[in-house]
Amino acid sequence: MTKESPSLIPGARRAARMAAAAGLVAALAAAGTAPVFAADDPGTAPVKPAAADGKGDKLGSADADVLAKAQAKGEKNITLMVATAPGATEEVSRQLDAVKGSVLGQTYDKLGYVRATVPTATAEATLKAAQKLTSVYGIDLKQEIKLDDPTPAGDRAAGASTQATGSYPAPGKRTPAKNPYNPSFETGAVDFVEQNPKADGRGITIGVLDSGVDLGHPALQKTTTGERKIVDWVTATDPVSDSDGTWLRMTASVAGPAFTIGGRAYSAPEGAYKIQLFPEAATRGGDMAGDLNRDGDTTDVWAVLYDAVTGSARVDLNNDADFTNDAAMKPYKDGHQVGYFGTDNPATEIVERIPFVVETRKNVVYNTAGAKADFVNIGVIEGSHGTHVAGITAANGLFGGEMNGAAPGAKVVSSRACTWTGGCTNIALTEGMIDLVVNRGVDIVNMSIGGLPPLNDGNNARAELYKRLIDTYGVQLVISAGNDGPGVNTIGDPGLADHVISVGASISKETWAANYGSNVTKKYAMLPFSSRGPREDGGFAPILTAPGAAVNTTQTWQAGGPVKEAGYSLPAGYSMMQGTSMSSPQAAGAAALLLSAAEQKNIELPRPICAPRSPAPPPTSRECPRTPRAPV
């Protein structure tokens, strides 16, 4: 199934202004008020081996281990993604589809992407056959990438005091735009907006591929011009292969105005429908711990009624078995409808309800017999990670005051790629990234998820596909470097991919004091956990660093999360988090400001200037160079 929608892809002008994102971010970092850290000349890095010609390793050792473990556990099926030559997916799709018991998933021919699920018993032979095809660049097997815990656990600079400094009060409504709590000013973002007030991110849309963004947070409601902040909200997980219980297979047919199912009588408007039950326990691995309506248990179940003709769904939120008093909800982008599990008590600081949206996917193959069904998704966040990331990059009016994210005028598209097991699959992170770039009209994407692979040379299917997204659509990807430092060669995947902007985490003396309550002597330094380069093949990564600790937005239905030693409390919906997960959105927001300036001033940006990795032969006019010199 191909999901490319060319009509939704912005025109050449958007591609042109995005083409120079990497160079622009580097320029901003170099011109910022705080030091940045960089490696030596990337032009000295050796050439990376490539498999684009159909030769070389196409299945990494880590993937071979995944297959061996699946075989040892007796797993019935295994899912794989293939990077083919662009425009050459047909041959691979045909071969995989011919495997007995296989299920062919999404394909994107323009990028050269194929996903399939095959029987584990015959997977080895299937993979060997696929690797022989000259059109195949690389094959990745499905793996889950665990989200790092961004809450501090005693991480401190060497020799730092463990006592609260008492020198910084809690951030709040009176906190100025320049502050050490969310130190966007260190990249130059605050000064840039002050000097260019109309280039505050307006006109730019940032994709956030993460655990989902809370739709109820006050600082994520409006842009600086009063427009809607979150303009789209989707789920990137697969309804079948990712075992995500928020996807409901709609196969049971009923008809209004009255029907009985499971021994219970229901009322509904006239018409033909599909019905399914949604248990809140499906979310027990998330921050809500399976209690969606915040009533203290995990046993609630809601009926969901789906109208295939209109593509809408009704959720029986009050459990009265009457769908006539429930809104017919369509996907969020088609009217921005939001429902809520639970009822808020306005007398408390915490919001006792969780917002949700619906999404539908039609004609999804769900078994090896080729049976198809429509699926409905109940779109809720998995955890606080994505909301914090979104706030850093684009929040407007933190604490109701002057404190903002890096690009407060920008809009956001949220894509949840994480499930309920503490992580996200590489498949969801690939298809979610493709969907954001190809179908959702974003100008830049932040992804603060990754991990350290056994061989971090960037030679895998996902890294190749990310590079192609940048080269083909002119949308820059900004990705966290990873938290496996301080050793060398700890750069994570996919931050190591060619042409992406990978971001390490740094911190100032003031932020140590304000966010951790720690006294340090060094004015500015790398955070100790931040991953370092180079890549295994000597490639240059990470590209730059940005502030890696911030007080920012989290879901409003949980209490605030300060660092105890900082000596202050935070209200519900705000927490201090750390990691390259926090530095990456600082860079993405900074890039959004520069793109916004180009938009406001009608500046035509030059041909693609891509983040460097390793040298290669001179590119054609349509390709990104491997070793550019970013203009400053």
Mapping DSSP to helix (H, G, I), strand (E, B) and coil, where does residue 312 land?
A: strand
H or E stretch including 307? strand 301-307
294, part of any domain? yes
pLDDT tens per residue across span 37-76: 333 333 333 334 444 444 457 988 789 999 999 999 999 9
Same domain? 416 vs 322: no
Cβ neighbours of residue 196 closer than 8 Å, sequence gap 6 or more: 593, 597, 600
Q: 143, 162, 192 — which closes off a domain?
A: 143
Same domain, yes or no: 222 and 338: no
Please give the C-alpha separations between residue 448 and each of 202, 371, 593, in angstroms, as whole numbers: 23, 36, 19
Q: Is the pLDDT of residue 550 over 60?
A: yes
Task: Indicate whether 138 belongs to any domain.
Answer: yes
557 and 426 fall within a common domain: yes
Q: Is residue 163 part of a domain?
A: no
Average pLDDT score over residue span 183-208: 98
CA-wise closest residue to 330 among 310, 315, 316: 310
The verdict on 198 and 251 lying in the same domain is no
Task: Give the domain CATH number at 118.
Answer: 3.30.70.920
- pLDDT(36) > 80: no
Q: Are residues 215 and 288 in the same domain?
A: no
Q: Please tell me the predicted confidence (pLDDT) of residue 604.
A: 76
Same domain, 191 and 282: no
Kindly report the three-state secondary structure assignment for every residue of 508-547. Answer: EHHHHHHHHCCCCCCCEEECCCCCCCCCCCCCCCCCEEEE
Count CB atoms within 10 A of the CB of residue 97. 12
Same domain, yes or no: 230 and 304: no
Q: Which residue, of 143, 168, 191, is where some domain finishes?
A: 143
Give yes or no: residues 289 and 430 share one domain. Answer: no
Q: What is the pLDDT of residue 606?
A: 60
Question: Which range marks the domain in which residue 316 is found?
Answer: 247-352+360-366
Same domain, yes or no: 482 and 340: no
Q: Sorting pLDDT into bands at 50, 70 and 90, what band is 165?
A: low
Domain presence at residue 489 = yes
Mean predicted confidence (pLDDT) in 82-98: 96
Q: Is the dihedral of CA 292, 296, 299, 303 positive or negative?
A: negative
How wide is the angle at C-alpha 71 spanned by C-alphas 67 and 72, nearest 5°? 115
Q: What is the pLDDT of residues 277-305, one digit of tens each?
A: 999 999 999 999 999 999 999 999 999 99
The reported pLDDT for the residue numbered 56 is 55
Q: What is the CATH number of the domain that holds 558?
A: 3.40.50.200
pLDDT at 622 over 80: no
Domain-ending residue, one of 333, 366, 399: 366
Contact at 8 Å (CB) between 578 and 483? Answer: no
pLDDT of residue 3: 44
Residue 494 has pLDDT above 60, yes or no: yes
Q: Which residues are CB-neighbours of 588 under 8 A, at least 6 positions away?
A: 206, 393, 406, 444, 445, 446, 478
495 plus 586 within the same structural domain: yes
Query: In this predicted model, which residue has the larger pLDDT, 378 or 36?
Result: 378
Q: Which of 241, 242, 385, 583 is catalytic?
A: 385
Q: What percent of the chain has pLDDT over 90?
A: 78
Instruction: Confirm whether 385 is a catalytic residue.
Output: yes
Q: How far apart are CA 342 and CA 295, in angstroms?
A: 7
Q: pLDDT tens across 428-461, in order? A: 999 999 999 999 999 999 999 998 888 888 889 9
With 90 as the cut, is the pLDDT of residue 229 above it?
yes
491 close to 542: Cβ distance less than 8 angstroms: yes
What per-residue confidence (pLDDT) applies to 624? 42
Residue-level pLDDT at 613: 52
pLDDT tens-place string over residues 120-155: 999 999 999 999 999 999 999 999 998 888 888 744
Per the structure block, which two tokens stand in for 178?
């320049």
Amino acid 193 reads V
Q: Please tell me which residue in 140, 200, 210, 537 is annotated as part of the active site.
A: 210
Return the pLDDT at 166.
60
pLDDT tens-digit series, residues 385-411 = 999 999 999 999 999 999 999 999 999
Asked whether residue 560 is assigned to any structural domain, the reply reads yes
493 and 391 within one domain: yes
Contact between residue 302 and residue 315 where contact means Cβ atoms under 8 Å apart:
yes
The count of structural domains within the chain is 3
Report the distance separating Cα 325 and Cα 315, nearest Å: 10
Specify if 161 maps to a domain: no
- Mean per-residue pLDDT over the chain, rounded: 88
Of 182 and 601, more confident:
182
Given 506, 581, 596, 614, which residue is catalytic? 581
Q: What is the pTM for the complete model shown?
A: 0.89
| % of the chain residues with pLDDT over 70 | 84
Has residue 164 been placed in a domain?
A: no
SS3 content of the chain, % helix, strand, coil (to 5): 25, 25, 50
The arrangement of strands across the sheet holding 247-250 comes to: 247-250, 372-379, 354-365, 339-341
Which residues 6+ apart lie within 8 Å of 557 measured at CB?
216, 288, 294, 342, 350, 351, 352, 353, 354, 572
Residue 206 lies in a domain: yes
pLDDT digit string, tens, across residues 591-608: 999 999 999 888 877 644
Residues 436 and 515 in one domain: yes
CB contact at 8 A, 443 and 449: no
